């Protein structure tokens, strides 16, 4: 099987031009086939504010009404995605910018209304890994914005961590996939106030123990839940690390937090 590296970067990387440039340079140096998935929530909030469109967040998740859907489509699928693609082209990486609607790569359904109506938010139903593989075989690097679409033709705002996990799981049928989540910390921390308190490895059992003790909490939980589901469904390895450590993490030099399955 071929190896495939799938990397997700968050808004804290994208928001800082110098950090993003450093990351993309490191990304270029990673050998083999690779896919990049990005967020961009802070930029979307800034643009919405300029347009006098209110931003509503519930437990860290964005409520996406029609005006906000227009904003995230412009920001994620346009501004952020194409800036990343252009910067990759400038350093010699032949990239193609995509949303889930492009080439029918990621289809979803609008999240059902429960206690909270999240609006135009998509829960992923299907990943077209065959089409993604086609792009890779053409020596293109897919760069995905966190937007999917539903059968009726509507675009839907979709969590970038979830999108990365879903793409990793589906492409793992044909590849040995390493999924890397890059953000502003050096990994999963045992002490949020100490950037060097990196937990080097997590299993489902140690993860549950850390959660029960409150060591791992808040926004890290959905990220890790996605990561462990990916391992259960065939992804070879999941790493969580700082964006400027991505090359070292992929090479297996021991930085970041490596998630291990006990299956």
Q: Report the C-alpha gap between 38 and 54 in whole angstroms.
A: 23
Give me the pLDDT at residue 172, please: 96
Contact 88, 130 (CB under 8 A): no
Number of domains in the chain: 1
Contact 69, 147 (CB under 8 A): no
Give me the pLDDT at residue 262, please: 63
DSSP letter, residue 77: I
254 assigned to a ligand binding site: no
Spell out, as residue ranges, where the chain has pLDDT lower than 70: 1, 262-263
Contact 11, 133 (CB under 8 A): no
Give me the pLDDT at residue 58, please: 86
Give me the pLDDT at residue 247, please: 93
Enter the pTM of the model. Answer: 0.94
157 assigned to a ligand binding site: yes
Q: Which domain holds residue 232?
A: 2-259
Q: Output 69-75 pairs: Cβ under 8 A, ≥24 positions apart.
A: 69/119, 69/120, 69/155, 69/156, 69/157, 71/44, 71/47, 72/44, 72/147, 72/157, 73/147, 73/155, 74/47, 75/40, 75/43, 75/44, 75/47
Q: The domain that contains 150 carries what CATH number?
A: 3.40.1160.10
40 assigned to a ligand binding site: yes
Listed residue (173, 171, 196) closest to 185, CA to CA? 196
Give me the pLDDT at residue 183, please: 86
Q: Report the C-alpha gap between 175 and 1 in whole angstroms.
A: 5
Give me the pLDDT at residue 21, please: 94
262 — phi, psi (to 5°)? -100, 5
Q: Report the C-alpha gap between 197 and 199 in whole angstroms.
A: 7
* Residue pointed to by tokens 């931003």: 55
Total Cβ atoms within 10 A of residue 144: 29
Total Cβ atoms within 10 A of residue 113: 9
Give me the pLDDT at residue 218, please: 77
């Amino acid at each position: 099987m071929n190896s495939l590296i799938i990397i997700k970067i968050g808004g804290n990387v994208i928001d800082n031009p110098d950090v993003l440039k450093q990351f993309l340079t490191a990304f270029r140096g990673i050998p083999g086939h690779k896919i990049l998935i990005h967020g961009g929530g802070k930029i979307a909030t800034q643009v919405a504010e300029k347009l006098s469109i209110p931003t509503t967040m519930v437990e860290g998740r964005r409520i996406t009404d029609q005006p906000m859907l227009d904003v995230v489509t412009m920001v994620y699928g346009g501004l952020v995605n194409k800036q990343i693609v252009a910067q990759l082209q400038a350093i010699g990486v032949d990239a193609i910018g995509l949303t889930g609607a492009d080439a029918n790569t990621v289809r979803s359904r609008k999240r059902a209304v429960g206690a909270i109506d999240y609006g135009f938010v998509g829960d992923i139903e299907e990943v077209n890994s065959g089409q993604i593989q086609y792009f890779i075989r053409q020596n293109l690097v897919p760069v995905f914005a966190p937007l999917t679409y539903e059968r009726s033709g509507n675009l839907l705002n979709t969590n970038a961590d979830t999108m990365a996990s879903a793409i990793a799981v589906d492409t793992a049928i044909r590849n040995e996939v390493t999924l890397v989540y890059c953000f502003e910390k050096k990994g999963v921390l045992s002490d949020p106030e100490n950037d060097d308190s990196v937990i080097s490895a997590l299993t489902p059992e140690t993860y549950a123990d850390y959660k029960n003790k409150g060591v791992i909490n808040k926004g890290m939980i959905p990220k890790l839940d996605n990561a462990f589901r990916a391992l259960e469904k065939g992804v070879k390895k999941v790493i969580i690390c700082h964006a400027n450590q991505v090359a070292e993490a992929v090479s297996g030099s021991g930085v970041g937090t490596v998630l291990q399955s006990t299956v």
